[in-house]
Amino acid sequence: MLYREFVPEDLEQCVRLAAQAWPVREHISKEKDSWRVFEPYVGIGRAWSNWTCVACLDSGEVIGLVFGDIRGVSDSSSIRRMVRSEAAAFGGIAIGRFGRLERTVPLIWNFMMTELKLIVNRPEADAEIMLLLLDEKYRGKGIGRELVDRFASAARGHGAKKMSVYTDDQASNWRFYESYGFARARLFYDNWSSYFEGKPSTGIRYVMGL
């Protein structure tokens, strides 16, 4: 197993991992390539992160990733990169760049509402996992824990004392985070997950000491 930084060429494989983790329902898209709806999602996660790691097989196939943000570790272009990623994501969705969606306006609205709630419900922490994905065929082998371990170690190296992560109770593996040692810090109605999954979903903000 090889662990290395994310590079732009990894994007499609990472998007496919996201689509595997969260299968696209027909009320979102009926297109054959509906997995592409996750391209802006992964892109935003990358733009909001200043630390990345992907897990690869010897063949080069990406089977897992973690994107994270360590507070105080950034560069002069980070804000511009974040703004550009959000604008490109919403603009691309609006013009159908990522495939035809069934109802574009509700999708964007619910995504933005959850983003706002994430800001309002952000717990005090020095580092945050922005995105964690693992191919379902390789779960239970310690790879996800290794990815989080690597981010936690990097965060501690920059003086971080607390680490947080956001998940929900419908589409994400919240049990993994609790078994890792995270504790629930905030609960709220998750507009995006509820709309995407087609049933009420609770957003969960977790935090743990490093």
Contact 206, 124 (CB under 8 A): no
Reading the chain (210 residues) residue by residue, the pLDDT tens digits are: 999 999 999 999 999 999 999 988 788 888 878 888 888 889 989 988 999 999 999 999 999 999 999 987 765 456 666 677 777 777 777 777 777 777 888 888 998 899 899 888 988 999 999 999 999 999 999 999 999 999 999 999 999 999 999 999 987 889 999 999 999 999 999 999 998 889 999 999 999 999
Phi, psi of 148 (to 5 degrees): -65, -40
Contact 64, 148 (CB under 8 A): no
Q: Is 135 helix (H, G, I), strand (E, B) or coil?
A: coil
Which residues, listed in sequence order, are joined to residue 168 by a DSSP beta bridge? 203
Domain ranges of the chain: 2-209
Q: Which of 2.60.40.10, 3.40.1480.10, 3.40.630.30, 3.40.50.1370 is the CATH number of 2-209?
A: 3.40.630.30
